[in-house]
A and B are shown apart, each in its own frame.
Chain A
Amino acid sequence: MRLSYIAKRNLVSKPLQTALSAILLAFGVGMVSLMMLAERQMTEQFERNIKDIDLVLGAKGSPLQLILANVYHIDAPTGNISLAAADKIIRNPYIESGIPLAYGDNFHGYRIVGTNESYPNHYSVELSEGRLWETAFEATIGATVAEKSGLKIGDKFFSAHGLTDGTDVHDDIAFTVVGVFDRSHSVIDQLLLTNIETIWGVHAEHEDSELSKEELYASREITAVLLKKRNPMAILTLPNLLKETNMQVALPAIEINRLNQQFGLGAAALRAIAMLIMALSFASIFISVFENMQARRYELALMRTMGGTPATLYKLLLLEGGLLSIGGVILGLVVSRVGLFVLASAIEDKFQYDLGDLGILETEIYLALGAIFVGLLAAALPAFKTLRMDISKTLSNE
């Protein structure tokens, strides 16, 4: 028999008291850990998708909406802009390159985006099978789309109008899947890519043959352009250039910072609540160990008469506090994973974003070590007081 066994038995023999302390600690650790996980994954997703996109050109409206809609594909676009006007901006000497995006339809909630090959190239997405689209109504689909929808190469599907549901299906021309992208953990995973002409084809109001080439070009619209600047002057000059148009440019970095600040207030409040719960759980461990010590005074005195030194019994009591804390921390990390799983399902259903990475973070290791240390401290203080008792008096008073 070892001391750790006695510690374990002592905890198990008071299941309610032990469970209450462990659950409180688990709840506190779980909440902090969940926030760490969610924050890390959201930040990673945001940073990954913002990659080298300096400006987004689109229709006037909320700049944040423009970014959310065109970089992250989690909001409705602000409107359409003229292809000719957008081309002018792309050719601006301060701009290095631009990726055009045109969309307005979905398949099972996943957006069908008309673009060119520079879009998947920008995110360095590889093909897992098949090829890129070449002609109209050919589509190359993201890994998540393929996995969730079951589409594979050669399959045909119809797009639906709008970005979220399938009530208004364009069932006149079917798309054909010609390729599937590798998982990149970028927004591409959630999209079906095709060429822009396809998007115009789906929504054609005139027969193309009725219009001249110039008229056709002038009538074309796209949703947005993701711009990479050549010169920082672009940020200063472009807004002025667009003053009299229906277009605007928004800076993803600034808009996301603003969004983070808004989210940050809520996150800070949640973090404070989680810390409060953790503090309560430590207080609960402290009270539980203290009360336990009082009830076990005779038992501990008895162990002293059997040769248990104060150091040995102190070790025993610390082991009890340590085991309780470790149990609470492990339970807390499990709780945070379950919480993240639930959160990820909700987010995936609503925004088609994958937050399912359940790996342990470095900061969580510090959180766990910190919680165990404070748990030990909460046990150490009452243990220290109790072990200074007068054994003779304790035995005589019983």
Chain B
Amino acid sequence: MIEVSDLSFSYDGINELNFPAFSCNKGGKLLLIGDSGSGKTTLLHLMCGLLRPLEGSITVSGQELGGMNDRKLDTFRGQELGIVFQQSHFVQSLTVEENLSLPSLLSKKPISSSELKKRTQELLDRLGVGHKSKSMPKDLSVGEQQRASIARALVHYPSVVFADEPSSALDDTSTASVIKLLEEETAKAGATLIIVTHDSRLKARYNDRVELESNTSSLNLV
């Protein structure tokens, strides 16, 4: 479950972004949609604990992020959250399979190496890139990289998965396919899915959505 209330943030200490309360149940899915400059990436970073709010609270899986010190927040983020970024970046010196083992290594989440190996291969197979597990990230196409990054976000059994503009560079068919994959895999893992996007094509798929209005600092919960 994720719960956001009375949230505000400022980059420069002068202009404030205010976010009204919203929540999403455990295993649910929520769309955060808005134009460029509407504060959606800021909100995503606040929910991931990459930014500290000026005021308000964010509770993820029962843990209030503001009450954690930096070190605890780093570990919590690594263990409980999975993030799919707009650009599918990887550690270029490691293979796809090795990249997928990074979240559990870095967050010290206790997953045995045999279980991790099995889950990695299963996820990659389900996402259609199992044959690329030993490849270097640069040898994957953009679509394959995106699929591998979805697998990376899910491999360590996170309770919440955030996806930042997952369809920004894709055509309609690929968008539908990627979103379907994300929904299916998070549902299988029992994780909450939060998608942040400006892509209005996704509106129809989500009843639960938060629309961010441009040129304002308020959010309209639909």
Contacts and interface: CB of A to CB of B under 8 A. Distances in A.
Nearest to B52: A392
A391 to B, nearest CB: 5
A305 B50 contact: yes
Interface residues of B, number: 31
Given A391-B50, A396-B41, A1 B85 contact: no
A307 B78 contact: yes
Contacts of B50: 305, 391-392, 395
A9 B93 contact: yes
B106 A307 contact: yes
Contacts of B154: none
B74 A309 contact: yes
Given A305-B83, A395-B50, A395-B85, A13 B92 contact: yes
A372 B167 CA distance: 47
A83 to B, nearest CB: 78
Interface in A371-398: 391-392, 395-396, 398
A299 B102 contact: no
A302 B89 CA distance: 8
B98 interface: yes
Contacts of B57: none
B74 A6 contact: no
A134 B44 CA distance: 99
Interface in B100-117: 101-103, 105-109
Contacts of B71: 309, 311
A185 to B, nearest CB: 50
A299 B109 CA distance: 20
Contacts, number: 73
A398 B89 CA distance: 10
Given A305-B50, A312-B106, A1 B98 contact: yes
A395 B48 CA distance: 12
B45 interface: yes
B94 A307 contact: no
Contact of A309 (B75, B83, B92, B98): B75
A72 to B, nearest CB: 55
A308 interface: yes
Contacts of B79: 307
B102 A306 contact: yes
B89 A298 contact: yes
A127 interface: no
A307 B107 contact: yes
Contact of B107 (A306, A311, A391): A306
A305 B48 contact: yes
B91 interface: yes
Given A1-B101, A395-B50, A6 B94 contact: yes
Interface in B56-108: 70-71, 74-75, 77-79, 81, 83, 85, 87, 89-94, 98, 101-103, 105-108
A392 B92 CA distance: 21
A396 B37 CA distance: 12
A287 interface: no
A12 B91 CA distance: 13
B41 A305 contact: no
Contacts of B48: 305
Interface of B: 41, 45, 48, 50-51, 70-71, 74-75, 77-79, 81, 83, 85, 87, 89-94, 98, 101-103, 105-109
